[in-house]
A = this chain, B = another copy of it.
């Protein structure tokens, strides 16, 4: 019996290093999941390969996908759509393979609504653990600057509350190890495996 794969979503505030961590995970030896290629309406650049870097589609094609409910998540940046096509993700999960998405926080929120049993990992800046320092201890900063930093920190923490795990990106290899531990242990969660056992008994 094939166990359904896990949908793993890595996200976090912009500039936190999601792309670097994702690359390091896929370059590490014992990874065993599929990276989901994004779809975009922006122009293909020289050297970029269709189906590897992106699926390149027209605006009309992309909007048709949205209308059919075939986008797991999408957003518009600088006049172009970027998103994750749903069919490939579902097929891969059904085959028992884990799918790894590295996306922006707005996208992660959409995925959470559609696939609530995904594994949602929030990558935090190294200094979120040193919030106090970052916010107040520069001494000479104007109150408005401190207020702004407080607001940013508060927003990041509230974003985090939608996720299952918060991993500090202090050093890339450490963050990679933490994420790999999380993925392997999620496979042992009772609510993910007990159905398999129950079904086995029923079928006897």
Where the two chains meet, the residues of A that have a C-beta atom closer than 8 Å to any C-beta of B are 122, 128, 131-132, 135-136, 150, 153-154, 157, 160-161, 163-167, 178, 181-182, 184-186, 188-190, 193-194, 197-198, 200-201, 203-204
Contacts and interface: CB of A to CB of B under 8 A. Distances in A.
A163, A178, A181 interface centre (most CB from chain B within 10 Å): A181
A161 B194 contact: yes
8 contacts: A122-B190, A131-B200, A157-B197, A160-B197, A165-B189, A167-B188, A185-B185, A185-B186
Contact of A165 (B122, B166, B188, B203): B188
Contacts of A184: 178, 181
A160 B188 CA distance: 11
Nearest to A131: B200
Count the copies. 2
Q: Which 6 A-B pairs have the closest CB atoms?
A: A182-B185, A181-B181, A165-B188, A181-B185, A185-B185, A157-B197
Contacts of A160: 190, 194, 197
Given A157-B194, A165-B190, 14 more contacts: A122-B190, A131-B200, A132-B203, A132-B204, A150-B204, A153-B201, A157-B197, A160-B190, A160-B197, A163-B190, A165-B189, A166-B190, A178-B184, A185-B185
Nearest to A188: B165
A185 B165 CA distance: 8
B136 A204 contact: yes
A188, A194, A200 interface centre (most CB from chain B within 10 Å): A188
A166 B150 contact: no
A122, A150, A167, A190 interface centre (most CB from chain B within 10 Å): A190
Nearest to A154: B201
A92 to B, nearest CB: 23
B193 A166 contact: yes
